[in-house]
Amino acid sequence: MDFGLVLQTDPPASAVVELMRRAEQRGFRYGWTFDSAVLWQEPFVIHSRILEHTERLIVGPMVTNPSTRTPEVTASTFATLNDMYGNRTVCGIGRGDSAMRVAGRKPNTLAVLRDAIRVIRDLAEGREADVGGTTLKLPWVRDGRLPVWMAAYGPKALALAGQEADGFILQLADPYLTEWMVKSVRTAAAEAGRDPSAITICVAAPAYIGDDLAHAREQCRWFGGMVGNHVADLVARYGAAGAVPSELTAYVKDRHGYDYSHHGRAGNPSTDFVPDEIVDRFCLLGPAEAHRERLRALRELGVDQFAVYAMHDAREATIDAYGSAVIPALG
């Protein structure tokens, strides 16, 4: 199993770079950042510095979207980083939540996302792509490679991930829901004539190692609120049960709006509707052995990477604890 570190690009950027260096030294193979240009600093500028100050770390956004940058700009950005640092990037992409809503726009449709996945990958790898009726190619790309991993929760999005993406990003660590969603992605891949086992499965969630479970929950409760944004959309589209498991949807019944100024941060006041049970299911909390046990279960379900959201008060301690007590047991 691979391990990744997920950070917000809060200033100073040098602190983000140093945490990524620390993660690589502790055995992490991937470095991810949020991508919401209004809420945080521009990630791709910082990605360049991370790549410069690491040797092997694979770097990318978790996740970008098709609209805040046009697909050809996104492809050129990745291709430039790959040309400079040797194909060490991965494109995590989704419909767009905070980046779009903060700017007063709705998340993209799945049709737009499908086209963007194809265009970004083709252009970044040196092939021609149709962009709005115009055939484009980046003539300077040589031996480019860009895996595109798609974040998804709902049935149609999961199907699209199976049909088009090189990897699937699931932003929660509940084994029951992971099994259901991975099966959906792989079934869609098989039906599309693809090899289901070739799709990389990445689970991303907060991890907090320690014995004070109440404190860990409060530091990670924000995650239930972030996931709740996507779940609320699913409930509006599919209803509270049926197409989507109630294990995912039931807890948002008491949700009342969301303030993106606290997005992804410990102490987010918009997440008081998130019960302890959801925090415990969606996140990895407790002593190191509890983390190892959950990760073994996820690995049995086909998870290839666990990416640690480290938006809490123990970032360095979590990186170090994973490097000493978790990664050696599962890596």
Other CB atoms within 10 Å distance of the CB of residue 239: 11
Averaged pLDDT, 130-149: 97
Percent of the chain beyond pLDDT 70? Answer: 99
pLDDT at 107 over 80: yes
Residue pLDDT, tens place only, 6-41: 999 999 999 999 999 999 999 999 999 999 989 999
In this structure, are residues 6 and 33 in contact, taking their beta carbons and an 8 Å threshold? yes
CA–CA separation, 163 and 268 (whole Å) = 36
pLDDT at 239 over 80: no
What was the pLDDT predicted at 241? 64
Q: Directed axis angle between helix 175-191 and helix 155-164, to 10°?
A: 50
DSSP 8-state secondary structure symbol assigned to residue 39: T
Averaged pLDDT, 172-181: 97
The model's confidence at residue 263, banded by pLDDT at 50, 70 and 90, is confident
Averaged confidence pLDDT in the chain: 94
Averaged pLDDT, 238-246: 77
Show the tokens assigned to 181: 């969603």
DSSP 8-state secondary structure symbol assigned to residue 139: T
Beta bridge partners, 168, equal 150, 201
- 263 or 13, higher pLDDT: 13
Show the tokens assigned to 36: 């919401």
What was the pLDDT predicted at 265? 86
The model's confidence at residue 270, banded by pLDDT at 50, 70 and 90, is confident
CA–CA separation, 280 and 224 (whole Å) = 10
What was the pLDDT predicted at 109? 94
What was the pLDDT predicted at 119? 98
What was the pLDDT predicted at 235? 80
Peptide bond before 63: cis, by omega within 30 degrees of 0?
A: yes
What was the pLDDT predicted at 262? 81
Averaged pLDDT, 69-80: 98
Model pTM score = 0.95
pLDDT at 79 over 90: yes
Cα torsion 68, 71, 77, 81: sign: positive
pLDDT at 249 over 90: no
Other CB atoms within 10 Å distance of the CB of residue 302: 18
- Specify the 3-state DSSP secondary structure of 257: coil
User: Among 16-30, 95-109, 305-319, which is the least confidently predicted range?
Assistant: 95-109
Averaged pLDDT, 298-318: 98
Averaged pLDDT, 80-97: 96
pLDDT at 260 over 90: no
Averaged pLDDT, 187-193: 98
